[in-house]
Amino acid sequence: MEEMQNIQEMSPTPPRRPGWGARIMTAFREVAETVIPAVVIALVIQLFLAQATRVYGQSMEPNLHTDQRLVVEKISYRFHAPRRGDIVVFRVPGRGSELLIKRVIGLPGETVEMRKGIVYINGKPLDEPYVVYRSHETLEPRVVPPLSVFVLGDNRAASNDSRVFGPIHLDNIIGRAWFSYWPPSLIGWVE
């Protein structure tokens, strides 16, 4: 009997389960350890590297379409200025947070004009294979100011662009349209 009592005294006590409060705190800590770094990484990417955007309207057709989703990269313009032909996303001063997407046509110091829908840069016609829908308008020569670009939509007949609001200062450019990810049929690099 004495042996039986010793055996009972030596058997380990079952581990105590933590209370609800401790379990909730553990779960909260695990979620925080996962979610907070993910949010910080997403914010860093959004602010400095790239962001997703959506095309609205027909001003860039047939190259970009309404509801097409794009990745806009924000890095390259930290190293060089926009180049002719780049498709850029920008803010128009005085229009709130609205973003527009257009193609860079004129660079700082260049003279841009249109004659019967043909764009001329410094008096020479610009080769624009991406333009299908031309307007037949005339635009008097204008010099693009320093640190600015002149932008036009690819669908000239249906575009609100630098012909209306003037050149865009480089500070208002968010980034360059880089990759199309939606719809699946249009996945690929933006040109």
Our answer to whether residue 59 is catalytic in this structure is: yes
Closest CA to 88 of 103, 73, 77: 103
Closest CA to 119 of 147, 145, 151: 151
Using the structure block, give the residue that is written with the tokens 């669908």: 155
CA atoms within 13 A on the CB side of 109: 0
Amino acid letter, residue 4: M
| Catalytic member of 11, 74, 76, 102 | 102
The two tokens of residue 49 are 């590297």
Our answer to whether residue 74 is catalytic in this structure is: no
Cis-peptide, bond into residue 183, ω within 30° of zero: yes
Give the active site residues: 59, 102
